[in-house]
Amino acid sequence: MSKLPSLSALALLLDHGEYTATRIVDEIEANIAANEPQTNAYINLFIEEAEAKARRLDTEGVRPGEDKPLAGIPIAIKDNICVADKPCTCASKILEGFVASYDATVVKRLKEAGAIIVGKTNLDEFAMGSSNENSAYGPVRNPLDPERVAGGSSGGSAAAVAYGGAVAALGSDTGGSARQPAAFCGLVGFRPSYGRVSRYGLVAFASSLDQVCPITRTVEDAALVYSVIAGPDPDDSTTYPSEPDEMDLTDEIKEGTKVGYIKECFDDLEDERVSDAVLRPFRDARVELVEVSVPLVRLSVAGYQLVAMAEASSNLARYDGIRYGRRVERLGLKETYAVTRGSGFGDEVTRRILIGTFGLSAGYIDAYYNTALRYRAALAAEFEEAFKKVEFLLSPTAPTPAFKLGEKIADPLAMYLSDIFTAPAALAALPAISIPAPDKVDGLPVGIQLTAPRWQDAKLLEFAHAVERL
């Protein structure tokens, strides 16, 4: 798809003077013009500002280096992450007219590293969805096959990188929203350990699960973006207090690395070709591949959705027609709230707020929300046990390659089940990465998901980088 070199390659080319930031932005602009009418990856574009910044960097001779590792690199930002003075829509009608007054910490760090913010990308409304069909700005189509979804909720970020509308992108991942679209578009999606990356300026969906994630062409690119955005932040009290570990990316897998494939994920696959595509590279590699059982992953969607919906119902209470964006005024405060929210939220967000409210309501909280929290603890304990036997866990990222637009949208439960392999790591706060398998199924990419113990982000990236070369 994209003919642009990877981020790491571009950084080298810029450093050696073989490329200019202006040339990269020009190529990005041409790709956007050619692909955007069909793909719909962006909600807002800042091309003129991007061109101006590229010219400035070129004139001043600023090249990627230790101080500015991303100098001249155009990056797209999912439109639930605040960029100062730009609209932040979350792909929702309820935020119409809302302009962010500050940069999210991750955006501030990208800008300080010299990155060029090229635009804000489409998403499922408030990041709730697995196909990017729940957007007030229309669905995103997969650049590899426009009849198919780009995945969700970070579908716009993945599609933009896939067709060369950005060199890299930020997405967010609550239960798989960066890893699954990356898998569907043949890219890398990295979800760091919860707490490694600041959530300040990321519009909250489910606060105990949300993480900002790089979506890139290669693992090396993901590691580079991660190293810029990760680290403690006084504006987010849930960030881990120390700096992330240093990484040493090499092509070789450490001999004797023990990888456990999660039995339940492979047993439940309907298409054996997905299983083969994920396992094949490991069969000939210098790894010890063993079967590991994590039985509770089978109910991860139930546990994940109950926690996420409960937190969403609370977080989205702030959109009341008074403080942000849209207001449909009625006589009476309560009526104004109800009409504004009823008309401002789309179907999927409404559905999740209602179920979340139900799960938290008196009489049901123990049977639903508290049960989900007990499940979350039990699942985390199963992962802990599994990691006593192996260094990394392996599964497909999603049960199928990208499905067709409209295929699941009328059946919410079928859509939720798309996240069955990505939700477990999110619930257990573990780092996980999706990388493209070398083999495709029906010409479509398949994602290999690797999961590591908590805080082992650097080791996971090092291993994934070597696996990418198998």
Partner 1 sequence: MTLGAEIVKVADLARLELTAQEQKRFGAEFEKIVAYFAELQRLKLEGELLLGYPCPRTPDEPRDYAIEVERLSKHLKDGYFKIPPLLA
Tell me the catalytic residues: 78, 153, 177
Interacting residue with partner 1 among 267, 286, 377, 438 (CB under 8 A): 377
Instruction: Name which of residues 100 to 129 contact partner 1 (CB under 8 A).
Output: 100-102
Number of residues that bind partner 1 (CB under 8 A): 76
Contact partners, residue 374, CB within 8 Å, separation at least 6: none
Instruction: Name which of residues 83 to 102 contact partner 1 (CB under 8 A).
Output: 97-102
Q: What is the closest distance, in whole angstroms, from the C-beta atom of residue 79 to partner 1 in the complex?
A: 16
Interacting residue with partner 1 among 2, 31, 275, 313 (CB under 8 A): 313
Q: Applying CB under 8 A, does 383 fall inside the site for partner 1?
A: no
Instruction: Name which of residues 235 to 274 contact partner 1 (CB under 8 A).
Output: 237-241
Interacting residue with partner 1 among 147, 291, 329, 385 (CB under 8 A): 329
Q: What is the closest distance, in whole angstroms, from the C-beta atom of residue 355 to partner 1 in the complex?
A: 6
**Angle between helices 371-386 and 300-315 in degrees, nearest 10:** 130
Q: What is the closest distance, in whole angstroms, from the C-beta atom of residue 411 to partner 1 in the complex?
A: 9
Interacting residue with partner 1 among 267, 361, 438, 469 (CB under 8 A): 361
Q: What is the closest distance, in whole angstroms, from the C-beta atom of residue 402 to partner 1 in the complex?
A: 24
Q: Which is nearer to partner 1, 17 or 363 (CB)?
A: 363
Instruction: Name which of residues 7 to 66 contact partner 1 (CB under 8 A).
Output: none
Interacting residue with partner 1 among 7, 144, 277, 355 (CB under 8 A): 355
Interacting residue with partner 1 among 342, 406, 438, 469 (CB under 8 A): 342
Question: Which x/- pattern, by CB under 8 A, does the window 292-311 give for partner 1?
Answer: ----x--x-xxx-xxx----
Interacting residue with partner 1 among 209, 223, 420, 432 (CB under 8 A): 209
Instruction: Name which of residues 396 to 425 contact partner 1 (CB under 8 A).
Output: 412-413, 416
Q: What is the closest distance, in whole angstroms, from the C-beta atom of residue 94 to partner 1 in the complex?
A: 11
Instruction: Name which of residues 186 to 205 contact partner 1 (CB under 8 A).
Output: 193-195
Q: What is the closest distance, in whole angstroms, from the C-beta atom of residue 97 to partner 1 in the complex?
A: 7
